[in-house]
Amino acid sequence: MTSLVTGSEEVQTLEKGSLLGEDTLQQIAKGLCEYEQQIPKSLWAYPAALQLGVEKLALACLIAGVRQPIQGVPDFVSRWAQLPLKDWDIEIDCPEEWLDKQLIEDQKPSGFCIETAGEYFDDWGNFQKKVINEVMTKAAQNPELYTRFRKYLIETPVVTKGQIFVDSAVDFKPVQDLLLNSYEKVPESYKLGEKFYCCGHCGGLMYLTKDDELKCENKHCAKEKKNPVPLADNQYDEIFWLKKDLRYFIHRPGKAELRLEERLKQLNLLEVKLYPELDQYDLHLVFPDGTVWAVDVKFWESAYNLAKKVNQPIRKLKHQPYDESFFVFPDELKSYGQEYIQEFRGYCNVPLKKSQVMFEGSFVQKVIKKLGI
């Protein structure tokens, strides 16, 4: 058994018990995300995290006496990675909500996989943090620039090369290079026929499945049943889209943030501010009676993974501290039910009352009740 990873302390620890642990799943998730990043660069060697994680999984299979154990990375990717964890032929020591998740969906790392990889995955996730931090620095004396920049990323997930150069030069001169570096050329393989298509719900670029069906990277958009939108023909210009971590961590939750902002503004009875004081939180609400609410919108597949990321209460503004704070989940996740909310509250490091955590529609109703309309 030790021939799989000779001398590895982690493997020696695994030999003492047959349970596959949360840390190994995180390692495998990291490796799958890194491997997807390598493919466009024609780097075909498996990342060390993926190789080691699968070797530990294979060893756990042998220890547990699994009838058809994993036979290396290709076998794992083609079989178990595409199944919910509960269907793996091995006992797993992990949060219960993980058991319904799978690491690969439609030949790509799933949202759950990306979030689970977060504890390990530094380089990939740090690009998004680097962009946001640099914009914050350059917008320190002009917070409105930060808000406009972030809104642009959310509202413009796909853009022509010509348009992004014009927009960056005219509207975002102080952060022009950052905006240009946030986009990259789209893969030609995303075309259906001679056209690219965008999601009718979120506006993101759609990809082709192995059956030549159009799908959005955000699987929840399919519930909305909106028709794909073809991009206008422009044979003289190239098409660009947001880089991957910006698509996942900025555009995806951002659509819900802007939607909630618009829904609340339509009430016409309260002040709504987006990303106050360089994004201390997402929405700052001031009611007619002077009451202030702070809102953070979170769009995560795994309530457990999100809970582990929340390690402090929502920060208060210096000039207008809030009276109450809330974590709000987009209605796209409503099908996960109250179990999602309970899981988040149960594992969160910050004590939260039931009244502080809810789905988007419920929060709008809470605001309406507070307004007395």
Per-residue pLDDT of the chain (373 residues; tens, 9 = 90+): 223 333 344 444 444 445 789 999 999 999 999 888 776 555 568 899 999 999 999 999 998 899 888 999 999 999 999 999 999 989 999 999 999 999 999 888 999 999 998 765 555 556 788 889 999 999 999 999 999 999 999 999 999 999 999 999 999 999 999 999 999 999 999 999 889 999 999 999 999 988 889 999 999 999 999 999 999 866 668 999 999 889 999 999 999 999 999 999 999 999 999 999 999 999 999 999 999 999 999 999 999 999 999 999 999 999 999 999 999 999 999 999 999 999 999 999 999 999 999 999 999 999 999 999 8
Number of domains in the chain: 3
pTM of the predicted model, to two decimals? 0.89
* pLDDT score of 273: 97
Residues 36 and 70 in one domain: yes
Residues 87 and 116 in one domain: yes
Angle between helices 252-265 and 143-155 (to 10 degrees): 110
Largest separation between any pair of C-alpha atoms in the chain: 70
Residue 185 has which token pair?
């050329």
Residues 133 and 109 in one domain: no
| Residue (of 156, 108, 159) closest to 254 by Cα position | 156
* pLDDT score of 125: 54
- CA neighbours closer than 13 Å in the CB half-sphere of residue 315: 11
In residues, how long is the chain?
373
* pLDDT score of 1: 28
* pLDDT score of 40: 56
Residues 87 and 174 in one domain: no
Does residue 327 form part of some domain? yes
Residues 90 and 54 in one domain: yes
Q: Give, for 147, the enclosing helix (H) or strand (E).
A: helix 143-155
Examine the fold and report which residue of 190, 217, 247 is the final residue of a domain before the chain moves on.
Answer: 247
Does residue 1 form part of some domain? no
E strands, 69-107, are 92-93, 104-105
Residues 320 and 295 in one domain: yes
Tokens 């990259």 belong to residue: 184
Does residue 259 form part of some domain? no
Sign, CA dihedral 220-222-226-231, equals positive
Residues 235 and 309 in one domain: no
* pLDDT score of 127: 75
Domain range enclosing 236: 123-247
* pLDDT score of 13: 47
* pLDDT score of 123: 54
Residues 302 and 326 in one domain: yes
Residues 226 and 139 in one domain: yes
Contacts 24+ apart (CB under 8 A), 135-142: 135/175, 135/178, 136/278, 136/279, 138/174, 138/175, 138/178, 139/174, 139/175, 139/278, 140/278, 142/174
